[in-house]
Amino acid sequence: MLDKMILGRYVPVDSTIHKMDPRSKLLLVFLFVCIIFLANNLISYGLIGLFTLILLMLSKIPIRFLYNGLKPILFLIIFTFVLHILFTKEGEVVFNFGWLEIYDGGLRQGLFISLRFTFLILVTSLLTLTTNPISITDGMETLLHPFKKWKLPVHELSLMMSIALRFIPTLMEETDKIMKAQMARGVDFSSGPLKERIKAIVPLLVPLFVSAFKRAEELAIAMEARGYRGGEGRTKYRQLKWQTVDTLLMLSLVVLTILLVLLRS
Amino acid sequence: MGKKLVSLENIAFKYEGQSRHAVDHVSFDIYEGEWLAIVGHNGSGKSTLAKLLNGLQFPQAGTILVNGKELTEETVWEARSKIGMVFQNPDNQFVGATVQDDVAFGLENAGIPLPEMVQRVQNALNKVKMESFLNQEPHHLSGGQKQRVAIAGVLALQPDLIILDEATSMLDPRGREEVLETVRELKEENLLTVISITHDLEEAAKADRMIVMNEGKLYRQGIPTDIFQMEGELIELGLDIPFSVKLSKELKERGIGLIKSHLTEEELVRELCELHSKM
């Protein structure tokens, strides 16, 4: 039940985007976040919108998953839109109602900013929706590899991440078990005032932490027994494959960037 | 008996801040191709012994020889490549995200090139009959299956010796049988040497040789039949003897004409049937 909250983001569908190399997807998201700031008029926003739409179509992700990703941020989008309408006083007045004056500049600004938000969220959530967490970890490790020169512990970070991901279901199961054990002893997690409910979580967290530390220690011993001694001289079992699709998508991103530079006003 | 694989000479080890030795001047040898069971109640030093054998701890006195080479900080990685270990908790030794990643973990550490790694992972999983679970995540596996994956992870490294450190104690009876059967088959096929550290005497009864530990000292070593003769003493040490041994002894005391002592239920049933047909 709880693990759906964190891991349920990944939607396993058979699509072009799913089959792509996690490295290219990570790069895509990173570059997309940068170039979206190039857009400043209707055509350039339209172009980015079109690009986003094509990506979404290629991913075959059902719309409700995308909407779920957007939901928490919806309030922020509407809030900025309203804020711009009320307080950006540029261009001509398009609407006048007593003290309320709406300028076309404000309308445009508000629209653009909310579109920018929407596109950003859609594309970044596309990454987590189409890539399983372990592949993201693998992709990050290879992409960050050059930073090893500056003493960034890339291998350790990615190992930490993959172990953390591997233990989420295990710890969730344990939480569930402890929760039931405490409920059997009369702890009430689901009703009462907020203060009481927060207090009820303490007897849940303490045993969970104790056991997590114990697990960590045992895992460390098991890893050492299997010859783990850091990233030096290690080979990798998981291999990433850069395919034609990845190159094509990167190229399309370059084209998009050039078009944006040309079309922006 | 084959040649000596590991020998312990006068090993002593004390945990920091404790007055009593966890392992108190213990000496014994482990021979190639045997199944050695080390039994003892909690705190008898049997698990510490396992950690010493694998260089996870170093003794304060005495020497451990692995293949004739002394186990020290310098030779520990070499020794670890020859000695595989399976631990008690199936969850806490599963490193990889999926079954195949976990089996590959040890190989990655050893720097094995990819084509060979794929081969070895496949082979190891075939041997423990888990080849159809390649991409399964650990939380979808039973305890017995996880332990079999752990064994595959050890096997892939082609060790000479496998130490099972209470590897079956957290499993249900079916998982336990599954794991022991796997180890038994592997031992026959590969001439693998097995040390099983356990407090399950039914499991120990099937070993070639047994060592009884008590309060850090080596209390007795010998073949299971001999060890189980000292019934009362074992119970005093906090160990319970197998049901079949108890039953056969009781039956003998009641004048049923049994001759052998019986380590397993099958042996007892067989002799009882033979006896019955003679009547």
| Domain range for B257 | 242-279
Lookup: tokens for A245: 């699709």
Q: Which residue of A has its CA nearest to B89?
A: A218
Confidence of residue B266 (pLDDT cuts 50, 70, 90): confident
How far apart are the CA of B95 and the nearest CA of chain A, in angstroms? 7
Q: Which residue of A has its CA nearest to B101?
A: A237
Q: Does B197 touch chain A (CB under 8 A)?
A: no
Q: Which residue of B has its CA nearest to A138?
A: B97
Lookup: tokens for A123: 């594309």
d(CA B251, CA B258): 8
Contact A235 B89 (CB under 8 A): no
Confidence of residue B194 (pLDDT cuts 50, 70, 90): very high
Instruction: Answer yes or no: do B235 and B279 share one domain.
Output: no
Contact A226 B153 (CB under 8 A): yes
pLDDT at position B1: 58
Domain with residue B53: its CATH number is 3.40.50.300
Instruction: Answer yes or no: do B29 and B162 share one domain.
Output: yes
With contacts defined as CB-CB under 8 Å, which chain B residues touch A229? 77, 109
Residue from B201, B207, B216 nearest B46 by CA: B216
Instruction: Answer yes or no: do B102 and B220 share one domain.
Output: yes
Contact A234 B111 (CB under 8 A): yes
Complex confidence, ipTM: 0.84
- Predicted structure pTM score: 0.80
Check the CA dihedral A53-A55-A61-A66 and report its sign: negative
Tens of pLDDT, residue by residue over A159-194, are 898 898 888 888 888 999 999 998 898 888 777 788
Instruction: Answer yes or no: do B194 and B70 share one domain.
Output: yes
Contact B93 A163 (CB under 8 A): no
Instruction: Answer yes or no: do B185 and B275 share one domain.
Output: no
Tens of pLDDT, residue by residue over A90-116, are 777 777 777 778 888 888 888 999 999
How far apart are the CA of B142 and the nearest CA of chain A, in angstroms? 13
With contacts defined as CB-CB under 8 Å, which chain B residues touch A226? 80, 84-85, 95, 105-106, 109, 153-154, 157
Instruction: Answer yes or no: do B25 and B130 share one domain.
Output: yes
Instruction: Answer yes or no: do B191 and B263 share one domain.
Output: no
Contact B93 A222 (CB under 8 A): yes
Tens of pLDDT, residue by residue over B33-48, are 899 999 888 888 888 8
**Strands annotated E in chain B:** 4-13, 23-31, 35-39, 61-66, 69-70, 83-86, 161-165, 193-198, 209-214, 217-222
Q: Which residues of B are catalytic?
A: 166
Q: Does B137 touch chain A (CB under 8 A)?
A: yes
Instruction: Answer yes or no: do B104 and B9 share one domain.
Output: yes
With contacts defined as CB-CB under 8 Å, which chain B residues touch A7? none
> What is the count of structural domains for chain B?
2
Instruction: Answer yes or no: do B151 and B88 share one domain.
Output: yes
Instruction: Answer yes or no: do B155 and B258 share one domain.
Output: no
Of residues A170, A226, A238, nearest to B106 (C-beta): A226
d(CA A105, CA A116): 16
3-state class (DSSP) for residue A62:
coil
Q: Which residues of chain A have a pLDDT value below 50? A: 1-8
d(CA A236, CA A81): 48
d(CA B39, CA B84): 19
Instruction: Answer yes or no: do B203 and B251 share one domain.
Output: no
